[in-house]
Structure 1
Amino acid sequence: MSELIAALPMYDWPEVRDAIDAQWALLRDALRQRGVDAPEAIVRRNGDLPAVPGGIHDAAGNLIAPDPATLPPDELDFHKLWLHPALLFAQTCWGPMELGLSQHVQVVGQPSYDAYEGGQGELYCSALVMRAGEGDEVRSPADGKAVLPLDRIRGKRFTFNSLDSMSGIIALTRDLKAAGETLDIFSSRGESGGHRGSIVTVAEGRADVAAIDCESWALAQRFEPAARKVVIVGWTARRKGLPFITARTTPEKTVQAMREALAGLAQQPRIQRVG
């Protein structure tokens, strides 16, 4: 049995878990064909992570995360997953990467977002949503530039999934800056805990605006009833989508094998596409 771990947590909604498992099975088998000891299944709980007695340390010996065995077993702490020394394959966000994660992992590749409005190859953007009736629907611009309805969002309440999210807050912050504005354009800001939660928060009137990455928006249109109560009023600019990563200590031979496996699967429904 493999001692390595893998996860695809970023779009792992309950409604598509069978599809996510099937996608991992495709990649797992492609990796095994290239001599990589890929785990049978992906992890979804802290309790599935191998214990690291004494905690997780960086290359210099500094403690950077606690032993996963000390975490609530039925939750999943993304940051501890990403830092785990046994990490073979996972997906993260460029927000955490820019905030320090990149020092501890290697980028294996980027998925394609061609299947989603707002996506183009490895680039994606976020839909700015408000409650239906509060603005006309705006389609994703062909040039991938930001479309910010400044007058419409000024003075409104903004909700976001997490402070380190590129799609949920960082991208919008940068696009506002380019337009001569800041997040102070909003009357308040609050954290929802996830893109799905942000959509529900706006739909229920507890906030007015949210930025939802284009793949999460596609999932919401299929599975989240609250999505019918909101409308896209703008878009952030296109940026690199969520990267696939592995531990910093993963051997180069294994990294190359993973890149070859991903390239081979690019001709099939992409590893992170659902539905």
Structure 2
Amino acid sequence: MSWTVSLPMYNVSPRLQREYEALLACVLSDAGVSDEVQLLAEPELPALWRRPDLLLGQTCGYPYVSFLRSVASLLATPCFDFAGCDGSDYTSVIVTRAVDGVGSLVEARGLTAAANDQHSNSGMNVLRHAVAPLARDGRFFGKVKWTGAHVASLRAVREGEADIAAIDCVTFGYLREASPYSIAGIKVLQYSASSPGLPLVTSRDVSEPLQARLRAALLTPSPQLRKHMAALHIKAFQHRPDADYNRIQHLEAEARAAGYPVLA
């Protein structure tokens, strides 16, 4: 059998990409995977998550609850040691410019928001949830600029193309360490509501025994795997029941109940 693996979600620097690839190799070794494995460094999303040969990948929780439950199985969720994380829960930092940015969410009314993707929990869903109580007639922002990536959203805020954005707190922590210039001139306005973090997943076509071996390798890491985890600020992995991810849908439902179904 030939498998595909990829952990592309937090590769914001060459060092982090190398570390995540090393972590992948270690998990596969610890799980006793001897089949042929293809590493995709820059996969197309969301096509990657639907692949029947996906042995080990990572997805955002919003697409998982929206359209991936029928094709992907949860393995484990990382517990990061960054500010805004609590166990395997995480938040987004809602940011603005340090000098001329807004002082509160309500001051962002009618201004421009930057968001990475319409299927992002950290960049779209939690920002929608945060401003929903302030929206009027289904609108709050004057414009939403879709950027394609958290790094691009930060750049848009920093350079004055947008006034506010929600950034995954893990991405923000990695950037603070690896690329401090990317958050220069940025201030954290507040943290969003929390939800389960980005889970490591496998295709439902992967056999139950192999899924169990992968999960065990993550939940009871070897000394070598712990070294890679430490380099990535991962304290542990936790298996989250599928129902835990309903919290992401609850955030969406609360925004809709407030009359704010779309980030606008």
Report the TM-score when normalising by structure 1: 0.76
CA-based RMSD: 2.4
Give, as a single letter, the amino acid of the residue that structure 1 aligns with 2:11: D
1:161 to 116, 119, 125: 116
Q: Which amino acid aligns with 1:242?
A: L
1:39 CA displacement: 5.1
Residue aligning to 1:124: 90
Among residues 156, 170, 176, which one is paired with 1:215 in the alignment? 170
Contact 1:135 1:233 in 2 (8 A): no
Q: Distance in 2 between matches of 1:208 and 1:129?
A: 8
8 Å CA contact 2:158, 2:185 repeated in 1: yes
Q: How far apart are the structure 2 equivalents of 1:270 and 1:192?
A: 31
Q: CA deviation at 1:103?
A: 1.5
Aligned residue number for residue 203 of structure 1: 158
Q: How big is each residue's C-alpha offset from its partner over 1:178-227, in whole Å with a ceiling of 9 and x where there is no partner?
A: x3537722111011000011111111111111100111001221233131
- Write the distance in 1 (CA, Å) between the matches of 2:45 and 2:231: 20
Greater Cα offset, 218-227 or 206-215: 218-227
Deviations 1:29-84 (A, max 9, x none): 2112xxx3365563114xxxxxxxxxxxxxxxxxxxxxxxxxxxxxx312111111
Tell me how far apart the structure 2 counterparts of residues 229 and 38 of structure 1 sit (CA, whole Å).
48
Name the counterpart of 1:181.
Answer: 135
Cα distance change on mapping 1:5 and 1:254 into 2, 3 Å: same
Q: Any unmatched runs of 5+ in structure 1?
A: 46-75, 138-148
| Residues 159 and 208 in structure 1, CA contact (< 8 A), matched pair in contact too | yes
| 1:261 corresponds to 2:217 | yes
The residue identity in structure 2 corresponding to 1:226 is S
Q: Which amino acid aligns with 1:127?
A: V
1:219-238 → structure 2 map (5 Å cutoff): 219-224=174-179, 225-238=181-194
Other-structure match for 1:37 = 34
Q: How does 1:244-259 map to 2 (within 5 A)?
A: 244-259=200-215
Distance 1:43 1:244, change over 3 A: same
**What letter matches 1:13 in structure 2?**
V
5+ residue gaps, structure 2: 234-264
Question: What SS does structure 2 have at the residue aligned with 1:4?
Answer: strand
- Over the matched positions of the two proteins, sequence identity in percent amounts to 25
The answer to whether the aligner puts 1:274 opposite 2:240 as a matched pair is no
Q: Is the 8 A contact 1:24 1:41 kept in 2?
A: no
2:21 matched to 1:24?
Answer: no
Aligned-pair distance for 1:271?
4.4
Q: CA contact under 8 A between 2:89 and 2:194: conserved in structure 1? A: yes
Letter in 2 for 1:28: L
Q: Give the total of aligned pairs.
A: 228
Distance 2:39 2:9 in 1: 13
Match of 2:99 among 110, 113, 133: 133
Q: 1:266: Cα distance to partner? A: 8.2
CA contact (8 A) 2:7 2:57 kept: yes
- How far is the alpha carbon of 1:229 from its aligned partner? 1.6
- Mapping for residues 77-116 of structure 1, pairs under 5 Å: 77-113=44-80, 115-116=81-82
What is the TM-score of this pair, normalised by structure 2?
0.79
Q: Which amino acid aligns with 1:42?
A: L
